[in-house]
Structure formats: C-alpha cells, structure tokens
A = this chain, B = another copy of it.
Amino acid sequence: MNFYDFLQREGIKIEKKIGDHVFRQGEIDTSLYFINSGLLKAYYLSEEGKESIKSFLSDKDIIGSLTSAYLGEPCSFGLLCLQPTKLTKISFSALREYSKKDVNIANELIDVLLQFSMKKEKREYEFLCLSAEQRFSLLVESRPNLIEKITQNDLSRYLGVTPVGLSRIKKRVYENMDLTNI
C-alpha cells in the first residue's frame, strides 16, 4: 500500500470556505490534513493579540499540529482558509498504526518528514542569518505566485515584521532595483 491508497481508504474529504478554521490555537486536534486545493495560513496568536504566520499551505501540502497529534497537547497554532479549500483529513494515530505494519507506508512517511524537516531548517536559516529585507527579497524570487495571492498584512506577519515595516522594505527594495536597472 502507498500513501495515496491510505488517503483514499482512511481519509475524510472536507470542504472549507474563506475565513473558516480547520482548527484553532488551543484546541486538541490529532489529525493531519492533506490539501487537495486551496490556500491556508497557519498562525500563532500571542496573549497580546499579535499574529505571526508560521506558514502558508496549498496544493499537495500536508499540515497538522505535531504537538497535538504526537504529544496530545493543545495546538500551538491555528489553521485558517484564505481561499476555498478542499482537504483530506486523516488520523495521525491511524497513520502511525499503518506504518507499524506496512514498511512502504512507513518509508513514505519518512520521506514526508524529511521534506518537512528540510523546509523548517530553511526557515530557521532565514530567521537566523538574514535580515527582514533579505527574507523579503528571497521570497519575491522564490515564490512570486504566493505573493500575488496574499495581502501585505499577512506577508509581513510571515516575514516577522509589521505591515508598516514591510511597506518601508518594499519601497527600499524597489528603489534599489530601479538604480541597478539603469
């Protein structure tokens, strides 16, 4: 059996509208979600009400709260739809049960986790080593399609600056682009 078969057999199809939550920060949700289509944001909300965006998710991404699914703790972040979204919901514990019996599923899960780990390492690198301006420029180059789809407010909260800060960064970056293009 492969991961696709597992999704077909054990998954539950879900449709969500713009503004709907898949789960909220603080809830227990031990599922993983495979995204068939749509766009979502995973975000933290601080006690003071400050929002920070962990990631944007779209087609073929897999998302879920590991601390909730694996450790049984409340979700440390919430998951909200920015576009109409079709998901397949799967039970994390069912996936783990299958992996314990089926070496193919286990190895596909290993691949998923390796991809995920590398994605998180890349983001760690960007926060540790790059300035907000460099993170913005990198995102413009690497995911121009994403930037078209989200507001500057959300983009800034993903980059770790305020909307006002991002507006200034954009201005600086595009001014410098003009100079180098002369």
Chain A residues engaging chain B, CB cutoff 8 angstroms: 44, 46, 50, 52-54, 66-67, 70-71, 76, 96, 99-103, 106-107, 109-110, 113-114, 116-118, 120-121, 123-125, 127-129, 160
Known: A52-B128, A128-B52, A129-B46. A66 touches B121 (CB 8 A): yes
Bound state CA distance, A106 and B103, in angstroms? 7
Assembly stoichiometry (copies)? 2
Known: A100-B103, A103-B100, A117-B116. A125 touches B76 (CB 8 A): yes
B103 touches A102 (CB 8 A): yes
Bound state CA distance, A118 and B66, in angstroms? 7
Q: Tell me how far the C-beta of A65 lies from the nearest C-beta in chain B, rounded to whole angstroms.
A: 9
Contacts of A67 in B (CB 8 A): 118, 121
Contacts of A103 in B (CB 8 A): 99-103, 106
A118 touches B70 (CB 8 A): yes
Known: A113-B113, A120-B124. A52 touches B129 (CB 8 A): yes
A124 touches B125 (CB 8 A): no
Known: A128-B44, A129-B44, A160-B128. A106 touches B114 (CB 8 A): no
> 22 interchain pairs (CB within 8 A)?
A44-B129, A52-B128, A52-B129, A54-B121, A54-B128, A66-B114, A67-B121, A96-B107, A96-B110, A99-B103, A99-B110, A100-B103, A102-B103, A103-B106, A113-B117, A117-B117, A117-B120, A120-B120, A120-B121, A120-B124, A124-B127, A127-B160
